[in-house]
């Protein structure tokens, strides 16, 4: 199929931006494939899921049905960590619920002398993260592991300088989830206790794993700041600051262990 024909079909199905991204990043645009992609666009399948790729913090990441697509809001979390890191101070970093590995990879790629671990309970997500870590040349600095927020014995005490997490934080049954998110794995989106369940598991265990003077950086949902702050302060974390995303929403909370 001619590229202009493919572009027109895809534009009618998913809009100008979707058509441009797909045609620029797809080698096979046969008639069958174009119509198949068009049907996916009409069903609300995100472009990243269709082409299997998403840019995040200037890096390219593979993504599929087993992982959340990297989102611009999460760059707020990465930026907060990098801005706090001294240039040459070695850092041990833990990423809880690593998914594609985009958070830990972006931080380690930009913080010299840093190493880390990405933990996820999903076998499919771990495979995606390992591919991305390997493709970015970070296999010697980042280990991807199977793990659960609730397992206190996953790591020894005082193992990490920095802990980061973008955990599931959407309340089950929340009707505000957009069509694109419906194609993400539910385990990475939804949490019990009105969306706070993962934070309640992370707070005490991260305290155990974090070195004294270390920090934890958390992505949160809209309107969750006070509740998440209360959860972490109740186990000893000291609140440092909040970071807003590009929409002006409180998106990241920072705490220190001291």
All structural domains of the chain, each given as residue ranges with its CATH number in brackets, are: 3-43 (no CATH), 56-60+66-256 (3.40.50.150)
pTM for the complete prediction?
0.92
Closest CA to 96 of 50, 32, 147: 147
User: Which residue carries 């009409």 as its tokens?
Assistant: 42
- Tens-of-pLDDT digits for all 258 residues of the chain? 688 888 898 889 899 999 999 988 887 788 888 989 999 999 889 999 999 999 999 999 999 999 999 999 999 999 999 999 976 788 999 999 999 999 999 999 999 999 999 999 999 999 999 999 999 999 999 999 999 988 999 999 999 999 999 999 988 877 666 666 678 888 898 899 999 999 999 999 999 999 999 999 999 999 999 999 999 999 999 999 999 998 999 999 999 999
pLDDT at 58: 95
pLDDT at 81: 97
pLDDT at 137: 97
Cβ atoms 76, 102 nearer than 8 A: no
CA–CA distances in Å: residue 92 to residues 158, 163, 196, 241? 10, 9, 26, 21
How far apart, in whole angstroms, are the C-alpha atoms of residue 61 and residue 11?
Answer: 24
Write the DSSP string, 78-109: HHHHHHHS-TT--EEEEEES-TTSHHHHHHHH
Q: How far apart are the first and last CA of the chain?
A: 62
User: Which phi-psi region, left, alpha or beta, contains residue 15 (left: φ > 0; alpha: ψ -120 to 50)?
Assistant: left
pLDDT at 215: 98
């Amino acid at each position: 199929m001619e590229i202009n024909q493919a572009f027109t079909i895809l534009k009618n199905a998913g809009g100008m931006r979707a058509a441009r991204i797909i045609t620029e990043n797809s080698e096979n645009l046969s008639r069958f494939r174009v119509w198949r992609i068009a049907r996916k666009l009409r069903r609300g399948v995100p472009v990243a899921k269709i082409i299997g790729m998403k840019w995040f913090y200037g890096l390219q990441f593979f993504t599929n049905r087993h992982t959340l697509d990297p989102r611009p809001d999460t760059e707020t979390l990465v930026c907060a960590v990098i801005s706090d890191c001294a240039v040459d101070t070695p850092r041990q970093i833990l990423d809880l619920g690593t998914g594609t590995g985009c958070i830990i990879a972006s931080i380690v790629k930009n913080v010299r002398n840093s190493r880390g671990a990405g933990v996820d309970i999903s076998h499919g997500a771990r495979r995606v993260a390992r591919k991305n870590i390997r493709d970015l040349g970070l296999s010697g600095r980042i280990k991807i592991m199977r793990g659960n927020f609730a397992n206190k014995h996953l790591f020894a005490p005082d193992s990490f300088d920095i802990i980061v997490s973008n955990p599931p934080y959407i309340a089950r049954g929340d009707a505000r989830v957009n069509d694109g998110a419906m194609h993400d794995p539910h385990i990475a989106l939804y949490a019990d206790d009105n969306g706070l369940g993962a934070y309640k598991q992370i707070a005490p265990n991260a305290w155990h794993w974090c070195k004294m003077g270390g920090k934890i950086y958390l992505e949160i949902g809209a309107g969750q700041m006070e509740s998440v702050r209360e959860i972490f302060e109740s186990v000893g974390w000291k609140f440092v600051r909040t970071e807003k995303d590009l929409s002006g929403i409180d998106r990241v909370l920072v705490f220190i262990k001291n």
